[in-house]
Structure 1
Amino acid sequence: MPELLKLMEPALDPGNSLTLPVDADSLPPMENELERRRMFVTIKLPVVLDRPEAWRAGELARTLDEAVDLSLLVERLGRQAWSSARRSGNYLDNPWQWIDAGNSARTDAILLAAGAARAGTIDCARHEQALFGLPAAFRRGYTIERVRAGHTECIDFGDLQLAELARTVALEKDPATARHEAAIFSPIAKALARDGAIRTSALDAVAPFCDASTHERLRDPWRLCEGVTRREVAQAAAARAAEQARVAEADRQRREAEARRDPLECPADTVLAAAKALGYAGDAEFWGGTQSACRLRPEDRGQAIVALTYVEGDQRTGVASAPQDDPGYSLDVVIVRVTDGSLVAHTPPGGHIDSDAVRFNGIAIDTASYMLSPGLRAFGVRTAHSTSCYGCLFGTNELTLYVQRGPVLTPVLGLTIGESSGEIDATDCSDQPSRMSRTLRGATSASHGYADLWLRTSISVRMEDLPDACKKNFKASATAKQILLRFDGQSYQAIDGTALSMP
């Protein structure tokens, strides 16, 4: 939190306004930009609400408008409703949840007025879900003004807090003000006279008001409770409880999905945008069917790392060629801007994936923290291969580390990161699988300006003796070895000459 506050300090000082535009046209659909603005408002809104007098005139209304607009924009961009943002170990709740936790009477009054002011500017049919996530006091002000104006579509009458509103009207001494406030009850009476969901919503709203003690004290001059039976009130209450349970369950599922969501997941059209940036043919369906991979850069989520794989020639026609036993795959690794798909850096032409006698199974972007020098973070591209034949099993996983040097992506390490093999004899049922896995970690030394790397290799072998009708007796062995990799000015090599990749 402290570093985030320091980053935002200029705009958080009293007297300074929020400088980030949040209208729908100016905000690009970028995940990192959206999160940055989200966090900004999360921090600023409670600060302004707590001490509005410390800011310049109109700053509170402006900040509230920005928070509301951003909530609507989150929904418009197809995102989940406000969710928690995590950055550098910080946990930030959305601002509405934060201030809703313990609102003061002054804060509620401010939100009530803000909701009333926005009643004519928010299309409730378009933003019904986003409105549901706004503070109760804001929704109440919004709903009161909408109903008073005769609009009852996509309105939850429960937001009116009708008993409290009726009490306020009954105690109002100014006749003109009382008549103005009482105008809210006419649309409710009309809703009660209708059938379906709108009557159910209105019944739910009048239930507390039609309680005997409240009814007798306020005398119901608007005759809202006439014709409303206790059974209907009970049914309305049950329906509301069921709806609240449904909403709570949907919210729980949304939060679980949000927690599972990969924060570095690329927007759906990023792979296609990268292909277009390279001048390749093909539509979203074509590139979606290729074994390509995409991931946002952890250090700059406005950029995406994309690995494009394709059978040579298909990228020019945009049509997948007929299946082949060993087609051979070309490979392009690029970095593109998420906003417009423009190229930032790419590998030189001619990249390919070896598939001689083995089958290419898939590709993935590895964004682990490969810090090779201060300010230089490498990323990895992993490829998987396998083969199977009668009596044998074999599979490998390869890792290539790339660094960005201006507009060029350069490989600096090629490494077999995992390998498995086995033999099966159909005569005696014997099985002798072996597995090799490797891990990298940084060393404290450096060579040619790049950090040295420790490579740990672990090998496990399981022998199975089957002396009696395939009854298995397992014998396992494991070995581990660690060697140092040094950068020679072009690529990383093992200091003892160990081969790093499969021949």
Structure 2
Amino acid sequence: MVAQLSSCKAWPANPALTLAVLLLPQKDNNDNEGAYDLDVLVADSDSGDIVAHDYQSSAVLYDAVRLSDVSFDTARYQVTPSDRAFGVRFTHTGSSRVNPYETTALNLYVIEGKKLRRVLDRLAVTSMSGESNDNCAGTLDWTQRTIDMGPAGKQGFAALNISEKSVHSVSNEQTGECKSKNDRPVRAHFVLEYRNGQYGVPKGLQAD
């Protein structure tokens, strides 16, 4: 288990339950590349008994882009009148200074009986990439996506309304100072519908 990337938290929507995420390194991992198995669990807060979990083998890969943070997202994801989802965010960060890179992906889970079901898989909620000369001159592109719950669809699950904001920035040295200028933000809107047991995430919105 990777202690610094594993955590637990009482669920604010239901403090009787505790959420936990465990990253389990595979045996052949090394410093340059590897994979983690992922176990997301819900436990009884008093007894510690496991209520439900979702296990994925080789769920998280790394090389020059490493998993740097795992956190819970307990916003109000009321996907049906009776089902509240919770999220887990995974942040990957690149190691290059001249080509900075970072992305955060979101999974959403719902409890169904004794099972934990993933209904949203790797939606990229933030992303940043750029290129520079390791001094000042360079470009940076940044995108952020937020989620609002929409109306219920044919299968009873609310649509996910995705609002996107993207910014392109250029940096240059001017009179001995490094200055950046942002272009006008570009905004877009997407709707993710629930079909066949999951919210479909278009390839362009899904983290690698």
Pairwise TM-score range, normalised by the shorter structure: 0.7 to 0.9
Q: CA deviation at 1:326?
A: 2.2
- Matching of residue 455 in structure 1 with residue 169 in structure 2: no
Go from structure 1 to structure 2 and tell me whether the alpha carbon gap of 1:435 and 1:455 turns closer, same or farther (over 3 Å shift): same
Q: 1:440: how far off?
A: 0.2
Equivalent residue for 1:383? Answer: 90
Q: Which has the larger radius of gyration?
A: 1
Partner Cα distance (1:447, 1:379) in 2: 22
Q: 1:351 to 1:490 in 2, by over 3 A?
A: farther
The match for 1:334 is 41
1:467 Cα deviation from its structure 2 partner? 7.3
The number of residues matched between the two structures is 207
Segments of structure 2 that go 5 or more residues without pairing to the other structure are none
For the residue of structure 1 that corresponds to 2:57, the secondary structure is: coil
Q: What are the Cα deviations for residues 351-388 of structure 1, in whole angstroms up to 9, with x where unaligned?
A: 62132441110111111110010110000010111012
**Hey, what does 2:150 align to over in structure 1?**
443
TM-score, normalized by length of structure 2? 0.88
Residue 404 (structure 1) shift = 1.2
Cα distance in 1 for partners of 2:136, 2:180 equals 12
Q: SS at 1:325's partner residue?
A: coil
- Which of 8, 11, 20 pairs up with 1:306? 20
Correspondence for 1:486: 193
2:62 — aligned with what?
355
- Show structure 1 runs of 4+ deviating over 3 A: 465-473
Find out whether 1:424 has 2:132 as its counterpart: yes
Q: Give deviations 1:63-96, integer Å, cap 9, x for gaps.
A: xxxxxxxxxxxxxxxxxxxxxxxxxxxxxxxxxx
**Root-mean-square deviation (Å):** 2.5
Contact 1:348 1:408 in 2 (8 A): no
The whole-number CA distance in structure 1 between the counterparts of 2:61 and 2:206 is: 12
Higher helix share: 1
Shift of 1:299: 3.1
Superposed, which structure 2 residues align to 1:74-473 within 5 Å? Answer: 289-313=3-27, 324-350=31-57, 352-414=59-121, 415-426=123-134, 429-466=136-173, 472=179
Alignment partners' CA distance in 2, 1:305 and 1:471: 44
For residues 382 and 471 of structure 1, the distance between their equivalents in structure 2, rounded to whole angstroms, comes to: 33
SS of the residue corresponding to residue 196 of structure 2 reads coil
What's the CA shift for 1:466?
4.6
User: Highest relative contact order (Cα 8 Å, sep 6+), 1 or 2?
Assistant: 2
- Output the amino acid matched with 1:423: E
Distance between the aligned counterparts of 2:124 and 2:140, measured in 1? 18
Unaligned runs of 5+ in 1: 1-285, 314-320
How many percent identity over aligned positions? 25
Tell me how far 1:391 sits from its aligned partner.
Answer: 1.7
Is the Cα contact below 8 Å between 1:292 and 1:363 reproduced in 2? Answer: yes
In 2 relative to 1, CA 466–449 (structure 1 residues): closer, same or farther, beyond 3 Å? same
Amino acid corresponding to residue 298 of structure 1 in structure 2: P
Assess, with a 3 A threshold, how the Cα gap between structure 1 residues 328 and 298 changes in structure 2: closer, same or farther.
same
Higher strand share: 2
